[in-house]
Amino acid sequence: MNIKERYNGIIEWFSANMPNAETELHYENPFQLLIAVILSAQCTDKRVNIVTPPLFRDFPTPEALMATTPEVIFEYIKSVTFPNNKSKSLHGAARMLVEKYHSKVPDTMEELIKIPGVGRKTANVMLSVVFGKPAMAVDTHVFRVSERIGLTSNSKTPLETEKTLVSHIPAELLPTAHHWLILHGRYVCTARKPQCDKCGIAPYCRAFAKKKPLDLESSKK
């Protein structure tokens, strides 16, 4: 199977079986999503969705969040990973949104990555989810799953993975494809014990093709 056939098969299956894949983070506007994505770094969406409701309630705007302190923010987010750094990032992000962007989340990679706590992955999430741009955010799930199933080959960095995926996936599908790979990695193609017997894209998966019969039997138990 060549790379084009693999991409075509995987895209066709996801398009038919997961056409409306979207983020599992809870948000009501671009500002809230930005905060949630910053908090989600190396943390589960489930945990982020637990801490954000009171945070959004008490600090509904960039102005409100800027007016408080990192120490106060910490009390709201202390159960997420790296709360000290993230509380500072959230406060800095709010300040920059107010002072530089008139309290609006910018819609370009160049401007987004200037915001504290925002790297390329977070910026791509904002570009694709909020602004509908053909961007591919690569988190740990996307990086791992892409390599395992054979959409990439020996990618060393998330940027390498991003460039490869963007070059093979139609632009209009990129925002959805990001969620396809995340959700697939989260619930089916898990890191330690992939559920190959439940996987709809197994016929196109490079790792599955290499499995021995004994491996396949073990995966069903």
Alpha carbon distance 74, 78 (integer Å): 5
Dihedral angle over CA of 85, 90, 96, 102, nearest 10: 170
Alpha carbon distance 159, 140 (integer Å): 12
Alpha carbon distance 131, 105 (integer Å): 10
DSSP symbols for 39-58? HTTTS-HHHHHHHHHHHHHH
Q: Tell me the catalytic residues.
A: 121, 139
CA distances from 162 to 83, 129, 167, 183, 200 (A): 28, 16, 9, 17, 23
